């Protein structure tokens, strides 16, 4: 079966539209995270939500992972990349500290 010029043009246009949509959606995924210098994010979390750092760790790729939490239970996960850019990854309510238990001897 041979496609006419109109059908080929339509397929090309649909393919181009699909590619543009894919690039647009990829940009939206990156835009989901608010990123800035760590000091700015930490000050904003403290001033707006009374959140302060309660935990920190370093991932295998060098990203510093922090949890900021408030006495009221709100919390925010902040990841700081090795290049220094910090991004808000997640936020929620009902943060609870887990009491450390002494290791059994």
* Same domain as 38, residue 6: no
Question: What predicted TM-score, i.e. pTM, was given to this entire model?
Answer: 0.65
Taking each continuous run of H as one helix and of E as one strand, the counts in the chain are 2, 5
d(CA 15, CA 5): 15
Same structural domain, 4 and 25: yes
Shared-domain flag, residues 82 and 38: yes
Residue 22 has pLDDT above 80, yes or no: no
38 and 88 inside one domain: yes
* pLDDT-derived band at 103, boundaries 50, 70, 90: confident
Together in a domain, 46 and 3: no
Assigned domain for 86 exists: yes
Q: Which of 73, 68, 66, 76 is nearest to 52 (CA)?
A: 68
Number of domains making up the chain = 2
Question: What average pLDDT does the segment 54-62 reach?
Answer: 94
Decide: 80 and 64 in contact? Cβ < 8 Å.
yes
- The pLDDT tens digits of the residues spanning 75-86 come to 999 999 999 999
pLDDT exceeds cutoff 50 at 25: no
Spatial distance between the Cα atoms of 99 and 86, rounded to a whole number of angstroms: 28
* In contact, 81 and 36? CB cutoff 8 Å: no
Name the pLDDT band for 11 (thresholds 50, 70, 90).
low
Q: 71 and 42, same structural domain?
A: yes
The whole domain housing 19 covers 1-32
φ and ψ of 37, to 5 deg: -70, 145
């Amino acid at each position: 079966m041979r496609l006419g010029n109109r059908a080929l043009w339509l397929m090309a246009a649909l393919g181009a539209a699909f590619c543009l949509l894919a690039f647009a959606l990829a940009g939206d995924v990156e835009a989901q995270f608010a990123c800035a210098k760590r000091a700015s994010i930490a000050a904003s979390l403290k001033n707006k939500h009374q959140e302060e750092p309660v935990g920190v760790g370093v991932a295998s790729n060098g990203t510093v992972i922090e949890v900021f939490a408030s006495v009221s239970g709100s919390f925010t996960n902040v990841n700081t990349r090795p290049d220094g850019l910090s991004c808000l990854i997640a936020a929620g309510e009902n943060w609870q500290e887990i009491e450390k238990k002494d290791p059994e001897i």
